[in-house]
Structure 1
C-alpha cells in the first residue's frame, strides 16, 4: 500500500546547498542577487495569473510584467485566466499587450481551478504562479529563468501594500525594492495566548520569529521538521512561486477539493505534493513584489480567515492519503471541461 503523503515528505530532505553552490560557481552570481538580463537565457517561462474583479491592480501588474528585463533568448508567455469577473477585468486583459493568452471562464470556480486552466494552456518548462495583485520588480523573471530546474520550487516574497491612487486611478508605488522582512515568512510576529490557525500551537508570550533565517533558507524544514507554526509546504505561496511544469502536471495541479468557496491551503498542499515528487523548496530573497491590498482590505481579509478552518481540515486529511501520482489525465480532464465553456479573450 502506498505511503501517506506526510510520510513521504518526512523522508525528503531540503538540503539545496549543492544546487545553490553549483549555480554560483557556474554564473559567478550570488543565488540571492538580482540577475542581469544577459544571464537568463534559453529558458521557457509561463506566467499564470488567475483574476476575478481585479481592476484596482491588474493594469499595474501587467505593466510590471511588460517591463521585465530578460534576454531575448528567454521565452516568456503571460497567461491570464479570468474567473468570471463581473467588472471590466476582461476588457483590461483583452487590451493589454503583455498578455499572450487569456480565457474567461463561464462561471466562478476559484483561484486553484483557474490556475490549473492556465497551467494546462502553458507551454513553458517552468510555471510562474502569481496573483493578479502582485507587482513584480523588473528583474524577477530573470531571477527565476536562470535558476529554474526540473527539481526545484523557487519561492518569491511579497510586501503587502495599502496603496494610494494617483490622478490616473493607478496605484502609487513606493520607490526602490519591496522590503523582504515585510513577508511573514521572513519576519513573523507570534501572538500570545492565541491558537495558531495552522498548527493550533499557543504561545505563552509574544515573540518575533525569523523563519527564513532561522531555518537556513528552509533547509532545516526538510524531513517534515517544523519551525513553531511553520513547515516546508507552507513556504510555497502562490502570490509568487515558480514550479517545474512537469512536476506540477504529475501531481495533478491544484487539488479540486479547494473550490471557489473559501480561502487558503491549496498552495500548501501543492507544495507538499511537489516535495513528495522530490522537489527542493528554495527561496529567492531578491524575487519580491508589491502585493496590492484591495480597497476593502480589512473586510476581505476577515471574510477569508472565516473560511480557513475547513480548508485546514481538508489539507490535514489529504496529507494522510497517498502522495498524488500520474495526475496528468485528471488535470487534463478538469481543465478541458472548463475550457470548452470558456471565452477566448486573446
Structure 2
C-alpha cells in the first residue's frame, strides 16, 4: 500500500550541511557568496517564466536576464497564459527569449510552468515569476549549486509599482521567510494556530537555513514545503517531471499552494530544500497590487483545502509518460511566439 504524502514528508530530513560543504570544498566558494563574474561551472539551465498581463514589468525582467553574468548560455522560456495586454508582443521581440509560447486560453501559472518544463532542454529548471527582476549574478549562483538532489530557493523583495530600485539592491530581510511579523490574536490560515502575543519571527535563521524543518517539523506557521516558492526556485527537471509537474487544479480553484505542493512532492522524493541567501530579486508589484492581493487571499482558502486533501493521497512518482502526453497535446494547441 502506498504511503501518504504526509507520512512520506515525516520520514524525510533536510540536513543539507554535507551537500553545501561538498560544494564549498569543490569550488572554494562559500555557499552564500556570489560566484565570480563569468563563472563557467554548473549545470545546463532553463529559465521558465509564466506570464499573464505583465507588460508593465516584463521588459525590465527580461532585461535583467539579458544582463546576467553567467559564463554559460542558458535558455529563457516564457509561456504567455493568454494575456490581453502586450505581453505576447514583448515575448516575441525581446532578444533574450529563446522560446516563447502562447496558451490559447487562460490555464493558470501551474500549467504555464508545466509547459515550459516540458519543452526545456536544461538539466535544471529555474522558475522565475514574470514580475521578478534578478541581480546579474543570480542565475550563475543557482546554476553553480544545482544538483539532482537539491531544490534551491531564492528570496524576493517586493517593490511598489514604479518605485525606485534601491541602489544597494534587493534586501534578504524583506522576504517573509526571513523576517516574519505575524498578527497576534488572529488565526493563521496555513497552520490554523493563533498566536497570543507578538512574535519576532526569523524563520530562515531560527531553522538553521531550513535544516530544522525536516521530518515534518514546523516553525509556527511554516513548514518545509511552504519554504518552496516559485518566485525564484531551481529544481532538477527530471525530478519535476517524474512527479508530474505542478498540479493544475490549484489554478482552477484559486490562487497559491501549487508551489507548496510541488515542494512537498519533491521533498517526499528525497530532495533537500536549500536556501541561497545571496539569491534575492525585486518582485515588481502591479498598479493594482492591493486589489489583486485581496482577490488572491479569497481564493487561498480553496487551494489550501485542496492541498490538505492531497497530503492524504499517495506521494506522486513515475508520472513522466502521462505528463509528457498531456503537455504534448496542449503544446499543439499553442501559438509559437519565438
Superposed, which structure 2 residues align to 1:233-312 within 5 Å?
Answer: 233-312=225-304
What is aligned with 1:49?
49
User: Does the 8 Å CA contact 1:93/1:345 hold for their aligned counterparts?
Assistant: yes
- Per-residue CA deviation, residues 46-66 of structure 1 (Å, 9 max, x unaligned), is 000000100111000000000
Offset of 1:173 from its aligned partner?
2.1
What is aligned with 1:103?
101
User: Does the 8 Å CA contact 1:54/1:89 hold for their aligned counterparts?
Assistant: yes
Counterpart check, 1:341 vs 2:324 = no
- Say which is worse superposed, 121-130 or 22-31, in terms of deviation: 22-31
Q: Pick one of 141, 144, 150 that aligns with 2:142.
A: 144
User: Does the 8 Å CA contact 2:261/2:307 hold for their aligned counterparts?
Assistant: yes
What is aligned with 2:133?
135
Superposed, which structure 2 residues align to 1:135-214 within 5 Å?
Answer: 135-164=133-162, 172-214=164-206
User: Does the 8 Å CA contact 2:124/2:236 hold for their aligned counterparts?
Assistant: yes
Offset of 1:42 from its aligned partner?
5.0
User: Does the 8 Å CA contact 2:253/2:303 hold for their aligned counterparts?
Assistant: no
SS at match of 1:306: helix
User: Does the 8 Å CA contact 1:40/1:143 hold for their aligned counterparts?
Assistant: no
Q: How many residues align?
A: 338
Counterpart check, 1:220 vs 2:218 = no
User: Does the 8 Å CA contact 1:180/1:186 hold for their aligned counterparts?
Assistant: yes
User: Does the 8 Å CA contact 2:135/2:169 hold for their aligned counterparts?
Assistant: yes
What is aligned with 2:26?
26
**CA 1:308/1:234 → structure 2, altered by over 3 Å: closer, same or farther?**
same
Offset of 1:176 from its aligned partner?
2.0
Distance across 2 between alignment mates of 1:208 and 1:266 = 28
What is aligned with 1:168?
none
The answer for unaligned runs of 5 or more in structure 2 is none
What is aligned with 1:11?
11
TM-score when normalising by structure 1: 0.96
TM-score when normalising by structure 2: 0.98
Q: Pick one of 203, 223, 228 that aligns with 1:231.
A: 223
User: Does the 8 Å CA contact 1:236/1:268 hold for their aligned counterparts?
Assistant: yes
Offset of 1:297 from its aligned partner?
0.6
Distance across 1 between alignment mates of 2:309 and 2:241 = 21
Distance across 2 between alignment mates of 1:205 and 1:130 = 35
What is aligned with 1:116?
114
**CA 1:149/1:42 → structure 2, altered by over 3 Å: closer, same or farther?**
closer
What is aligned with 1:167?
none
Distance across 2 between alignment mates of 1:91 and 1:313 = 37
Offset of 1:37 from its aligned partner?
3.3
List 4+ stretches of structure 1 deviating above 6 A.
none
Distance across 2 between alignment mates of 1:37 and 1:95 = 27
Offset of 1:261 from its aligned partner?
4.2
Offset of 1:35 from its aligned partner?
1.2
- Per-residue CA deviation, residues 212-242 of structure 1 (Å, 9 max, x unaligned), is 0000000000000000000000000000000
Q: Pick one of 88, 91, 103 that aligns with 1:90.
A: 88
- Per-residue CA deviation, residues 127-161 of structure 1 (Å, 9 max, x unaligned), is 00010000000000110111000000000000000
- Say which is worse superposed, 191-200 or 217-226, in terms of deviation: 191-200
